[in-house]
């Protein structure tokens, strides 16, 4: 049972702020801070801004220093609401934290600026190509991509929780460990998360992954005793 001295809060405090500037029939929203679970508190205001806009919202995320899957889910929820209203949500610019997450989840194209709203600061190679297939087929592909991003979120969040519980890491440090290990082992983030969750049930991480994960943990939270990553048949509870 939860400790009465530490009540469980469904949505933590929001660590992000935003500023809104009308731009023709669109609204430019600049966000700074951290996009995590607490950023869902921004959604009511973002929904109102979306309703007031003529065709949608353009996001400026350059000043976002941290973004996890909960933050991405918030952006996807905003995009879903926009589609319901016949509008769009684009990411016109973003910092490294958001860039990495969009790339790792394959969600970048979902927020690409269409047509005349394409940001000149983004290389043309990143712009969506001309339509070559049936619109229904494109829509199905887009929905499938969105579903993949949504389906991987619970596993990634669970893997991050395992790292936090096993090694006493903060949410930010646990996310950094996952991203660093994913990059150093050339493993997709959701595949790494799935394998890490599997160790709780006795499966084994490949030796190179164990090595890089241990190094990432040691770098994120140096300890007097070397932290060992979950290995064969050993769950975090047993370590």
- Confirm whether 188 is domain-assigned: yes
Which helix (H) or strand (E) is 35 found in, with range?
strand 26-35
Task: Give the C-alpha separation, 89 to 80, whole Å.
Answer: 9
One-character DSSP codes across 59-124: EEEEEEEEE-HHHHHHHHHHHHHHHHTT-EEEEEEE-HHHHHHHHHHT-GGGGPPPGGG--TTS-G
Residue 90 and residue 112 in contact, taking contact as beta carbons nearer than 8 Å: yes
Q: Are residues 88 and 28 in the same domain?
A: yes
What total number of domains does the chain contain? 2
Does position 239 have pLDDT exceeding 50, yes or no? Answer: no
Q: What mean pLDDT is reported for the chain?
A: 77
For residues 30 and 38, the model is more confident at 30
161-174 pLDDT, tens digit per residue, is: 888 888 888 888 88
* Share above pLDDT 70 across residues of the chain, in percent, rounded to a whole number: 71
Task: Give the C-alpha separation, 91 to 59, whole Å.
Answer: 5
Task: Give the C-alpha separation, 65 to 159, whole Å.
Answer: 21
Average pLDDT over residues 121-133: 44
Q: Are residues 155 and 221 in the same domain?
A: yes
Task: Give the C-alpha separation, 215 to 213, whole Å.
Answer: 5
- Confirm whether 140 is domain-assigned: no
Instruction: Return the sign of the alpha-carbon dihedral for residues 28, 33, 35, 38.
Output: negative
Does position 236 have pLDDT exceeding 80, yes or no? Answer: no
**Residue that terminates a domain, selected from 98, 129, 160:** 129
- Confirm whether 2 is domain-assigned: no
Model pLDDT, residue 86: 93
- Confirm whether 106 is domain-assigned: yes
- Confirm whether 142 is domain-assigned: no
Q: Are residues 106 and 176 in the same domain?
A: no
The residues that bridge with 33 in the sheet, in sequence order, are 16, 64
Q: Are residues 90 and 164 in the same domain?
A: no
Neighbours of 11 (CB within 10 A): 11
Residue 63 sits in a domain of what CATH number? 3.30.750.24
Stated pTM of the model: 0.49
180-232 pLDDT, tens digit per residue, is: 898 889 888 888 888 888 887 778 889 999 999 999 998 886 542 334 444 44
Q: Are residues 102 and 191 in the same domain?
A: no
Q: Are residues 20 and 122 in the same domain?
A: yes
Q: Are residues 119 and 162 in the same domain?
A: no
- Residue 17: pLDDT band (50, 70, 90) is very high
Q: Are residues 124 and 205 in the same domain?
A: no
Range of the domain at 112: 16-129
Task: Give the C-alpha separation, 208 to 231, whole Å.
Answer: 12
- Confirm whether 99 is domain-assigned: yes
- Residue 115: pLDDT band (50, 70, 90) is low
Q: CB-based contacts of 104: which residues, under 8 Å, 6+ apart?
A: 179, 182, 188, 189
- Confirm whether 86 is domain-assigned: yes
- Confirm whether 70 is domain-assigned: yes
Average pLDDT over residues 30-45: 91
Q: Are residues 184 and 90 in the same domain?
A: no
């Amino acid at each position: 049972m939860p400790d009465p001295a530490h009540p469980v809060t469904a949505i933590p405090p929001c660590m992000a702020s935003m500023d809104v500037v009308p731009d023709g029939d669109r609204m430019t929203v600049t966000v700074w801070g951290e996009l995590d679970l607490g950023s869902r508190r921004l959604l009511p205001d973002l929904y109102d801004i979306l309703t007031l806009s003529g065709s949608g919202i353009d996001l400026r995320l350059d000043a976002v220093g941290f973004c996890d899957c909960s933050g991405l889910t918030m952006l996807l929820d905003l995009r879903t609401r926009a589609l319901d209203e016949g509008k769009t949500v684009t990411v016109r610019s973003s910092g490294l934290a958001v860039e990495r997450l969009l790339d790792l989840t394959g969600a970048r194209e979902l927020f690409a600026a269409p047509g005349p709203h394409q940001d000149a600061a983004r290389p043309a190679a990143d712009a969506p190509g001309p339509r070559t297939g049936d619109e229904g087929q494109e829509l199905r592909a887009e929905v499938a991509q969105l579903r993949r991003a949504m389906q991987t979120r619970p596993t990634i969040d669970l893997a991050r929780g395992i790292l936090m519980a096993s090694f006493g890491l903060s949410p930010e440090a646990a996310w950094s460990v996952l991203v660093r290990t994913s990059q150093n082992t050339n493993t997709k983030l959701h595949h790494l998360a799935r394998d890490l969750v599997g160790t709780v049930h006795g499966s084994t991480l490949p030796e190179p992954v164990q090595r890089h994960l241990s190094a990432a943990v040691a770098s994120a939270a140096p300890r007097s005793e070397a932290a060992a990553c979950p290995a064969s048949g050993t769950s975090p509870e047993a370590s």
